[in-house]
Each structure stands twice: as C-alpha cells, then as structure tokens.
Amino acid sequence: MNQLNLTFRRASPDDLDFIAHCNYTASSPSPNFCYWDSLIEGFGLETITFIRQAISLDVLAWCRISDFFIAENNGVPVAGASCFVMKQDDYRPLDLESISKLYNFLGWGDEQVQQFEGR
C-alpha cells in the first residue's frame, strides 16, 4: 500500500507550470476543452501557454501565484488551491487594467487585440 506523505506550502514562481495546469483543469467543464480555448483560437498559441503567460504577468483577476497553495506527496505537487476575492464591480477573469502587459509580451498588434477583446 502506498503511503501518503502530504505537505502543504505557499506557491512560488517556480510552480508556474503546475499552477497553469491547475487553472486549465479548473477552467475545463469537459475533458480536453477549456473556456480559454475559444478565446485564443486562431492566434497560433496553445491555451496552456496563454494561461501560463497570463499568470506570470499577473493579469488574471483570480489566479495569482501569491494566492496559491500547493499540496505535495513526497515532494511532488499533487493538488493546488487558491483563494481570491473578485472585484465587486467587475467579475471578468482578466484584469483589463493590466492586460496590455500580456498583449505586449505576446507581440499582438491592434487587430489581434481587437479580435481577442471582442470575444
């Protein structure tokens, strides 16, 4: 029988890949589909890459590394959890005040930004 040896800790920037995976999974109402998929379709970018960059640049309204906790079994991440408080006047998943950081990082021009924001 395998014995669990769970430990819990705050996430760090080194956990970005695991946090992005948790976000993708939590945003997936069905297997192999995430609600981010339709937003970035046609941009030549994998959804997990988009999520990873959005988290690393702190433009997601509800997925900040500093709010995340990691559960590890024998040093291997097995679960993640975060707590957050949405802005009462804006429940959108992206922080529109800082989204330009992501657009610049991705090299998106005006046409791509308009297409994305229209979705």
Model pLDDT for residues 32-84, shown as the tens digit of each residue: 788 889 888 999 999 999 999 999 998 887 778 988 999 999 999 999 988 76
The total of other beta-carbon atoms located within 10 Å of residue 70's CB is: 20
Q: Do 95 and 59 touch, CB atoms closer than 8 A?
A: yes
Say what percent of the chain tops pLDDT 90.
44
Q: What is the mean pLDDT of residues 6-10?
A: 94
Q: Is the pLDDT of residue 87 over 80?
A: no
The pLDDT value recorded for residue 119 is 82
CA distance 85 to 100: 22
Residue at 115: amino acid letter: Q
pTM here is: 0.82
d(CA 22, CA 73): 16
pLDDT of residue 88: 66
